[in-house]
Amino acid sequence: MTRETSLRLRKLYDKAALLALITISYNIVEGIVSVGFGAADETLSLFGFGLDSFVEVISGVGIWHMVQRARQGGTEDRDAFERRALRITGGAFYLLAAGLVATAGLSLYGGHRPETTVWGIVVSLVSISFMWLLLHHKTNVGRALNSPAILADAACSRACLLLSAVLLAASAGYELTGIGWLDSLGSLAIAWLSCREGREAFGKAAGMACSCTCGSNG
């Protein structure tokens, strides 16, 4: 390997690591904002979206760990830490999905209506824009490194775009119509997507390639 090639690979892995850290940081902030406003405004879809963001942080840590190993000359085969992170992620997604289904069911039965879903619209629009940029850059880096793991992460990141679109549809729909069950319906859609992400995480932990059931669509 020439010195120029070595420097180029190092820069690419540095960028991949930076993108992973940005993803982790963004999901933490997004989770705090979404859970806070979701609880304050009694918006189930926004609250569930925020919890999903926190779960994504665990997955992001696993990706960052993998990039660090690859940058130091290791393989992209998942080690014990990454497999454990994926199993925790999968379990958390399943728990989140179950909680959202139960809460949405109770809300539908009781005729719950959120106070407002304006913040859901704001958060979803910001998330769509930011995740599109992350997806674009992750895909470019993954192709340049010919890295299946980074490309899989980029492809599965589309799930965040779909989740954001669901949140936007539910939030905007309520603000335009005042139909209370739209918020619960959005929460159920997020639960369904979380369940698919959980299945994907357990599949990857077991050594399966990323089929991106959540991302071939986010």
pLDDT, tens only, 80-119: 777 787 788 888 889 988 989 998 898 888 888 898 999 9
Q: Which amino acid is at 190?
A: I
pLDDT, tens only, 1-10: 677 777 888 8
* Res 214 pLDDT > 60: no
Using CA atoms, how far apart are residues 105 and 199, in angstroms rounded to an integer? 23
| Residue appearing with tokens 């539908």 | 108
Split at pLDDT 50, 70, 90, the class of 41 is confident
Q: Is-contact 119 41, C-beta < 8 A?
A: yes
pLDDT, tens only, 131-177: 999 999 999 998 998 877 787 777 667 778 888 999 999 999 999 99
Q: What is the pTM of this model?
A: 0.83
Q: How many CB atoms lie within 10 A of CB 213?
A: 15
CB within 8 Å of 155: residues ≥ 6 apart: 139, 210, 212, 215, 216
Q: Is-contact 164 190, C-beta < 8 A?
A: no
CA of residue 96 relative to chain centroid, distance = 13
